[in-house]
Chain A
């Protein structure tokens, strides 16, 4: 099993809808997570960090972490065409004190007007 799996996608939603992105992770991953957004041809941009079980909200974004299920998700409410990008989830190596990250392969989101 890969350390972080991100199998869903590509995802296409209409403007104003809720986009739901998710990842699962293995025991090798420490239980804090990061969501990055990557526009085509650009580098990843950190948009959400979540360190504890439950939900964390930031504007239109809500990250959810379920440690028992080893599952993390990102909800984007009121999706906008500008949200169209690839979303990467990443978790730190459990054995690394300096935070080496394992990334999923990304989910490509398209929000159409």
Chain B
């Protein structure tokens, strides 16, 4: 049973460029959440996709956008990269159950470095 997968593993970009990160959820999961983790901090919620729609968004600018495909996989796009966007980007998948308590499982992450 494949877990959550993410690509690429590492990425180096320069300021102003655009980046696309990809995520495939765990088998049987239908919801994908994206988090940003800066060094020494806990993950910060970016947004969450369910049924191909963005359902909730954290405190991130519009430069951060995403998409979910019919097969539940997802992309995170970041435009006009800033130095402060350097972080570990984590994708988490879950299965929506009535009543909540949706455990989220993380992929290996994409380490983005902006120069």
Residues of A within 8 A of B (CB): 4, 6, 30, 32, 34, 36, 42-46, 49, 51, 88, 90, 92-93, 96-106
Contacts and interface: CB of A to CB of B under 8 A. Distances in A.
Contact of B42 (A30, A46, A98, A105): A105
A88 B101 contact: no
Nearest to B108: A43
Interface range on chain B (Cβ under 8 Å from partner)? 20 to 34
A88 B37 CA distance: 12
A91 to B, nearest CB: 11
Nearest to A36: B106
B55 A98 contact: yes
Nearest to B88: A43
B71 interface: no
Given A34-B103, A43-B108, A103 B42 contact: yes
B32 to A, nearest CB: 10
B96 interface: yes
A98 to B, nearest CB: 5
Contact of B105 (A46, A98, A106): A46
